[in-house]
C-alpha cells in the first residue's frame, strides 16, 4: 500500500498494531510513505532482526497484515517528534512495552517524569564530562523506575555493543536513567554474550561506593537527535 497524495498528509505519528490482540507494539513518526517501510524491511531484509521486525514476521506467518493507524497527521516535524515521544512514554507508564529501540526525541530530557523527578531535574548539578576510563550506559529500556540498587545493577550489566579491544580500558560504568546517574560500578570483569548471532558484552562488578556521592544524581546531557546506542564513551553539554 502507498498513500496517493503523501505531500498533503505532512509529517505524522503512527501506531503499528497486532491484528491478533489489537496490541500496539510500535509507535513512530514519518512522512510520505515511511509507515509502510517496516513491513517491507521484514520481508526484504532477511538478515536484519529486531523485536519489531520479528513481531511483523510472526504476523505475516499467520497470513495476516499489521494494522496501521495514523494517530495525527499534517504536523510539523518538531510536533511529530514531540507527539511520538509522548506516546512512547505513555505506553511505558501504563505497562504496555513497545518494540521501539529508543524512547523518542529528547525523552530523557523532557519526557515522562514524576513531580519529584521534575524538581530534581531543575535543581541537580550537571556532570560536565566523562572521566577517562568511564562509560555511561542508558538503562531506560532495561530498568523499571522505583526498583532498588540491585535492580539498577542488573539492568546495567548486560548486554552491550562495545569494542572488545577497549574493554580493558574501562574502569567504571555509570548507569543513566532518564537523564541522571543512578549507579556507579567498578572492578569490572567483562564477558561475551551471543545474541541473534552477534556478540555483545556484559560485566560483573562492584558498586563504586567510594565515589558514589561524586556522581549519583548528576545530570548527563541528552543523546544527540537520532542516536540510539545506549553506551556512551564521552559526552559534553552543547
Q: Span 122-146, mean pLDDT?
A: 85
Against a cut of 0.85, is the pTM above it? no
- Is 175 or 48 the better-scoring residue by pLDDT? 175
Which position has the grid cell 515522562? 112
Query: What pLDDT is stored for residue 109 in this prediction?
Result: 65
Domain with CATH 3.40.1440.10 in the chain: 6-105
Are 188 and 170 a contacting pair, CB within 8 Å? Answer: yes
- ∠ CA 143-177-123 to the nearest 5 degrees? 145
Are 174 and 183 a contacting pair, CB within 8 Å? Answer: yes
Beta bridge partners of 172: 134
- Answer whether residue 71 shows pLDDT above 90: yes
Which is nearest to 208 in space by CA: 117, 129, 131, 120? Answer: 131
Fold of 6-105: GIY-YIG endonuclease (3.40.1440)
Binning pLDDT at 50, 70 and 90, where does residue 193 land? very high
Per DSSP, which regions of the chain are E strands?
A: 11-18, 23-30, 67-75, 134-138, 172-177, 180-195, 198-207, 231-232
Backbone angles phi, psi at 155, to 5 degrees: -75, -20
- The helix/strand count (H/E) of the chain reads as 8, 8
- Give the separation between CA 89 and CA 113, rounded to whole angstroms: 9
How does strand 67-75 pair with strand 180-195? Answer: unpaired
Query: What pLDDT is stored for residue 105 in this prediction?
Result: 62
Query: What pLDDT is stored for residue 156 in this prediction?
Result: 96
Binning pLDDT at 50, 70 and 90, where does residue 70 land? very high
- Answer whether residue 223 shows pLDDT above 80: no
Binning pLDDT at 50, 70 and 90, where does residue 2 land? confident
Percent of the chain surpassing pLDDT 90: 46
Percent of the chain surpassing pLDDT 70: 88
- Least-confidence region, from 41-45, 57-61, 123-127: 41-45
Amino acid at each position: 500500500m502507498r498513500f496517493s497524495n503523501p505531500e498533503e498528509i505532512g509529517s505524522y505519528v503512527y501506531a503499528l498494531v497486532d491484528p491478533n490482540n489489537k496490541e500496539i507494539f510500535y509507535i513512530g513518526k514519518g512522512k510520505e510513505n515511511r509507515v509502510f517501510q517496516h513491513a517491507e524491511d521484514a520481508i526484504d531484509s532477511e538478515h536484519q532482526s529486531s523485536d519489531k521486525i520479528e513481531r511483523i514476521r510472526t504476523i505475516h506467518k499467520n497470513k495476516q497484515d499489521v494494522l496501521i493507524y495514523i494517530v495525527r497527521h499534517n504536523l510539523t516535524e518538531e510536533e511529530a517528534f514531540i507527539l511520538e515521544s509522548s506516546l512512547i512514554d505513555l505506553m511505558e507508564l501504563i505497562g504496555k512495552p513497545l518494540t521501539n529501540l529508543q524512547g523518542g526525541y529528547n525523552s530523557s530530557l523532557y519526557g515522562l517524569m514524576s513531580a519529584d523527578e521534575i524538581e530534581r531535574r531543575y535543581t541537580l548539578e550537571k556532570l560536565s564530562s566523562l572521566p577517562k576510563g568511564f562509560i555511561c550506559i542508558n538503562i531506560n529500556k532495561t530498568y523499571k523506575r522505583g526498583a532498588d540498587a540491585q535492580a539498577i545493577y542488573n539492568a546495567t550489566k548486560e548486554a552491550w555493543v562495545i569494542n572488545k579491544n577497549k574493554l580493558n580500558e574501562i574502569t567504571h560504568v555509570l548507569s543513566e536513567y532518564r537523564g541522571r546517574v543512578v549507579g556507579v560500578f567498578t572492578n569490572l570483569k567483562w564477558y561475551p554474550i551471543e545474541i541473534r548471532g552477534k556478540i555483545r558484552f556484559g560485566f560483573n562488578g562492584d558498586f563504586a561506593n567510594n565515589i558514589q556521592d561524586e556522581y549519583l544524581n548528576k545530570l548527563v546531557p541528552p543523546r544527540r537527535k537520532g542516536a540510539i546506542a545506549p553506551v556512551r564513551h564521552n559526552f559534553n553539554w552543547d
